[in-house]
Amino acid sequence: MTQLIPAPRSAVAASGEVRLTRHSRLYADSATEGVGHWLSAALRQATGLPLREGRELADAEGGIGLRLDPALGPEEYRLVSDRSGVLVEGGGAAGVFWGAQTLRQLLGPEAYRRAPLDRDRVWSVPYLRIEDAPRFRWRGLMLDVARHFTPKEGVLRHLDLMAAHKLNVFHFHLTDDQGWRIEIERHPRLTEIGSWRARTKTGHRASPLWEDKPHGGYYTQDDIREIVAYAAERHITVVPEIDVPGHSQAAIAAYPELGNTDVIDTTALSVWDTWGINPNVLAPTDNTLRFYEGVFEEVLRLFPSEFVHIGGDECPKDQWRRSETAQARIRELGLADEDELQSWFIGHFDTWLTARGRRLIGWDEILEGGLAKGAAVSSWRGYAGGIAAARAGHDVVMCPEQQVYLDHRQDPGPEEPVPIGWVRTLEDVYRFEPVPPELTPEEARHVLGTQANLWTEVMEDHARVDYQAFPRLAAFAEVAWSALPAPAERDFAEFQRRMTTHYRRLDALGVAYRPPTGPLPWQRRPGVLGRPTDGPPPSR
């Protein structure tokens, strides 16, 4: 009946409907005023109805009311539609906002358009009572803008799509070997040099194809402020990622002294134009620490998030093994090896961030050599890192690549564009379970939630990102929000029935998703080499 995605905890229907007309009003109190502004703007452009402001809740009779109910949790909401109108209540403004997103779905796919298709259309909401709350506090999406740059307008669009699916953490992957995407005022060459590469590998790194033109771009600090503010209006937290000590060639190309200068000629390095694990990593020197402290000082001024992501993954140790500077640092600190040197590097920034009231989060390699007490882990190499972290008392975000890396292919067929990794179908994502059964209830409390990741090596524009993300992100959103049964017991056929309506919402939003029948002709990339992995992915 409701065709809602993600599925609510409880929905009880009654006979009748609320009709919104030119006389309907929208009431929001001071605590829900921001949600009211967002909802009235969204609905006015889609419906053409004026939805004038109500001065008190009684004014919204036959219309829409928004208010807080302190008995509910911060993101919990209740939506009641009856003869008096539609009332959305939440424990906090975030809960009211998620209820408003549900209301938009109830109005039909045309409620997602930016102009009314038919000004004589009757806009109605069926009588019902919905009670709903999220399963996890961290319902995330990571977008890699370093490999292929997404302009600011594209980022704002992704935030709107996240909000429509009740996702609330945007992990912003801003730096890598292939590009530095955030303006740092005290280090201008990071964007003057580090934000552009001369050419780009087309397809997997083994592909012989190249796009022989410069690629790049970056966000000014005002762009970042706008993105963070736009996200906050949608109750989305933006978590920045600044990669250290690996994935750093763009920074080293801009400032060669950051690299291992006693091992290689870092002045000969440029922003990397291909993919894979790069051997050029940061030197473990005081100069490097001071440089990145300066970077993070500016990052903290721009991002108010509790967590700051520092990468920490895929850091080859070969240069450190050959570097007398690195070896001297190991001896000076009394460390056992290069793994402990990386742990020291990560620990330095954990202490630095903690002193400033923030928390460090990194990919699960930061467990190697020991992990600082307050740090959290993004478990990407399967479940093992997350299990180890939770058992050690660390908070965890579950994002295993074999389950929720949405850059992986969606079908084994030869028409999938630039096939990467394992096959992860819509059903596979729907049956993903973020909490491993091995964890005790106490350990499971360390699972903050889950996140889907979009790495953009082979995604050259927003249409390719759309194709990889959707419709699977809709299934992921339900996993992150709804209290679903065990994976084998989930009713995927029923989810598919609800997706029939949801595809129309995505159409209205202009999302270039993968159709259930397979890629459309212009979505294919014939002749571009990928890196498919055969067989089922490991379960752990």
What is d(CA 30, CA 68) in angstroms, rounded to the nearest whole number? 10
What gap in Å lies between CA 505 and CA 314, rounded to an integer? 38
**Which residues does 136 contact at the CB level (< 8 Å), separation at least 6?**
434, 447, 448, 449, 450, 480, 481
| Strand bridging mode 307-311 / 359-363 | parallel
**Neighbouring-strand partners of residue 379:** 398
Helices 286-302 & 338-354 angle (0-180, nearest 10): 40
CA–CA gap between residue 412 and residue 196 (Å, rounded): 34
Catalytic residue numbers read 176, 247, 314
CA nearest to 319, candidates 361, 375, 266: 266
| DSSP annotation of 152 | H
> What residue has token string 């070997």?
177
Round to whole Å and give the CA distance between 115 and 45: 5
Which alpha helices (DSSP H) does 279-395 contain, by range? 286-302, 318-322, 324-333, 338-354, 384-391
Q: Are 390 and 447 in contact (CB under 8 A)?
A: yes
> Residue 197: which residues within 8 A CB-CB, separation 6 or more?
178, 179, 214, 215, 216, 270, 271, 272, 273
Rounded CA separation 28/34 (Å): 8
The H or E element containing residue 138 is strand 138-144
Closest listed residue to residue 481, CA positions, set 512, 505, 452, 508: 452
The interaxial angle of helices 492-509 and 472-481, nearest 10 deg, is: 120
Long-range CB contacts for residues 284-290, cutoff 8 Å, separation at least 24 = 284/245, 284/320, 284/325, 284/326, 284/329, 284/341, 284/344, 284/345, 285/325, 285/329, 287/257, 287/258, 288/245, 288/258, 289/348
Give the DSSP H or E segment for 38. Answer: helix 33-47
Residue among 45, 31, 28, 226 nearest 123 (CA):
45
What SS3 state is found at 480? helix
